[in-house]
Amino acid sequence: MSRARLHDMSLIAVPLVFAAALHAQAVPPAPAAAPDLSDPEVAHVAVTANNIDINAAKFAQTRTHNAGVKQFAATMITDHTAVNAQAAALAGKLGVTPKDNAVSQSLQTAAADARKKLEPLHGAAFDRAYMDREIAYHQAVLDAIDKVLIPTTDNAELKTLLQNVRPAVATHLELAKALRARLK
């Protein structure tokens, strides 16, 4: 997917961004509609996105023998757990209950598909596929934060949380690219 295309995406494109990343397909189908996301729905999307990467990392820890990949997976678990704790604390403070929605469901479906593709892989092939997936996923999350989640969020504190999370996601992407470059 080109950045120019991402720039033009509407709100419904969030699941397509993630799905395209997880399936490593070049161009997703054009979005059909553009429903807005409420703040409880944005919160649910954020928590879901974190949980997906935590679960992927936990699976990687059971499969990889590469020390670098193990460390990366451990960092993903630590960081995304910390972000979810902040999100839960903020939701409690604001009296907001994260609300399931089509975007979250799309993320979960895409994550399940990605997991199926990783399941049969072992050794270096698994490491490469997992890191490729992490690069695509974090790039997609970064794009979604910039172009959809932050712009569509009304609550100032939730928006600030998303803005504070952004540098961590960018660093994860940088780490993933550097590690992937070292894998044979």
Partner 1 sequence: MIGRFAIVLPLAVFAAGGGRYGPSRTHIIEIHGMAFHPASLNVSVGDTVVWINHDIVPHTATGSGRRKWDSGQLQQGDSGRYVPRRAGRAPYTCSLHPTMKGLLIIGRE
Binding site for partner 1 (CB under 8 A): 75, 78-79, 82-83, 86, 161, 164-165, 167-168, 170-171, 174-175, 178
List helix spans (H) across the chain: 3-7, 13-23, 39-63, 67-94, 102-118, 123-144, 150-152, 156-182
**Min separation Cβ 26 and partner 1, Å:** 28
CB of 157 to partner 1, least distance (A): 13
Q: What is the CA radius of gyration of the chain?
A: 16
Cα 95 to Cα 72: distance, rounded to the nearest angstrom: 34
Q: Nearest approach, Cβ of 7 to partner 1 (angstroms)?
A: 24
Contact 54, 78 (CB under 8 A): no
Least Å distance between CB 155 and partner 1? 17
Residues in CB range of 162: below 8 A, 6 or more apart: 42, 46, 145, 149, 150, 153
Cβ distance to partner 1 smaller for residue 101 or 139: 139
Reading the block at residue 12, the tokens are: 């419904």
CB of 12 to partner 1, least distance (A): 28
Select 78 or 97, whichever has its Cβ closest to partner 1.
78
CA-closest candidate to residue 180, choices 124, 120, 115, 112: 124
